């Protein structure tokens, strides 16, 4: 078996110092293009792979971690794609850590990434406490996605959930609907948290119904933002009646569950989702949904995270526009 190439081998082949090779690997400031070209050529020729453990001891592993609460969620996949695209031309690799079913809060997934000495963590973790997250951000750079936090030690990238949910309700009310239901995310660890996107979307739905004089028709179907969980909860709600004429689903996955039920009941129910994931525009689904630019959100979050890796400490909150995209699921043809 051939010997693994070392940083000294790269330095010798490129005719530079070990320190110069390290600077190229870290994408450090002040490296000339000629040096970068020679070092990268030597790395390629020698098939050199830096040892992550060794780099961690020197303070950099060139790995970025991302935690997601549900790998089946279409919108989260768009965020990951945007983050991956942003890293494509860098020296960083992305490590994905799904939250396991027995630890839905997300603490374990974030801690696992820190234990592996990643240089930063991009996290979609609506259930961790802000106090805990602030402490973890002192150990390493963190960008939180989705939550409406006011951070001190980390950054936030989120959608404008209030305006997005309000746009959905205004659209359905303008269509003449009164019996409008809403599918909401509810589980044992997220109850009582009012800064999460699901909580804000539910709050806006209820307020819009009251403002329209329709408080008696408020109908919240509680489940999880998953297709089959929403299907089962919606099926039970429809059986108990009355069947609504429109449903504001908390996200596109939940909307698919509602569409399943609507098909079984053969009822002309208007269905609106949220996130405008790729599947929403499929011509056989044609789902009205709120676009909050998941891929752009992922790229922006990764840009902020690398800024923190480079030393920025001032917290930033970036809000993506939420735009209602009207399709056939809510418009009569």
For position 55, what pLDDT does the model report?
46
Q: What is the pTM of this model?
A: 0.79
Give the per-residue pLDDT at 102.
55
Residue 311 has pLDDT above 80, yes or no: yes
pLDDT for the residue numbered 61? 79
Per residue in 119-138, pLDDT (tens digit) is: 999 998 877 888 999 999 99
Indicate the CATH number of 161-292+324-330 among 3.30.465.10, 3.40.50.2300, 3.30.70.20, 3.20.20.140.
Answer: 3.40.50.2300
Residue 1 is predicted with a pLDDT of 41
Identify whether 242 is preceded by a cis peptide bond (ω within 30 of 0). yes
Domain ranges of the chain: 7-46, 63-159+294-320, 161-292+324-330
Asked if the domains 63-159+294-320 and 161-292+324-330 are classified in one and the same CATH topology, the answer is yes
Homologous superfamily of domain range 63-159+294-320:
Response regulator (3.40.50.2300)
């Amino acid at each position: 078996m051939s010997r693994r190439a070392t940083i000294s081998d790269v330095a010798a082949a490129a005719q530079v110092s070990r320190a110069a090779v390290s600077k190229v690997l870290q994408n450090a400031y002040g490296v000339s293009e000629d040096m970068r070209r020679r070092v990268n050529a030597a790395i390629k020729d020698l098939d050199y792979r830096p040892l992550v453990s060794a780099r961690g001891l020197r303070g950099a592993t060139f790995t970025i971690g991302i935690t997601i609460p549900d790998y089946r969620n279409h919108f989260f996949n768009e965020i990951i794609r945007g983050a991956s695209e942003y890293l494509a031309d860098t020296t960083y690799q992305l490590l994905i850590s799904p939250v396991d079913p027995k630890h839905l809060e997300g603490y374990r997934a974030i801690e696992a990434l820190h234990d592996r000495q990643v240089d930063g963590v991009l996290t979609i973790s609506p259930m961790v406490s802000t106090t805990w997250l602030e402490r973890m951000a002192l150990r390493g750079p963190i960008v939180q996605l989705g939550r409406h936090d006011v951070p001190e030690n980390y950054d936030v990238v989120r959608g404008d959930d209030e305006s997005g949910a309000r746009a959905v309700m205004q659209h359905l009310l303008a269509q003449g609907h009164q019996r409008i239901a809403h599918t909401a995310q509810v589980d044992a660890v997220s109850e009582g948290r009012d800064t999460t996107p699901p909580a804000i979307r539910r709050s806006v739905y209820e307020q819009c119904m009251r403002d329209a004089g329709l408080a008696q028709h408020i109908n919240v179907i509680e489940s999880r933002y998953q297709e089959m969980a929403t299907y089962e909860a919606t099926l039970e709600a429809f059986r108990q009646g009355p069947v609504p004429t429109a449903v504001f689903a908390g996200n596109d996955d939940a909307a698919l569950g509602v569409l399943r039920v609507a098909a079984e009941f053969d009822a002309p129910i208007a269905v609106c989702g949220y996130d405008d994931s790729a599947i929403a525009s499929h011509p056989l689904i044609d789902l009205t949904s709120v676009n909050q630019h998941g891929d752009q959100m992922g790229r922006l979050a990764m840009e902020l995270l690398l800024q923190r890796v480079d030393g920025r400490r001032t917290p930033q909150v970036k809000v993506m526009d939420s735009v209602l995209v009207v399709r056939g699921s809510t418009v009569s043809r």
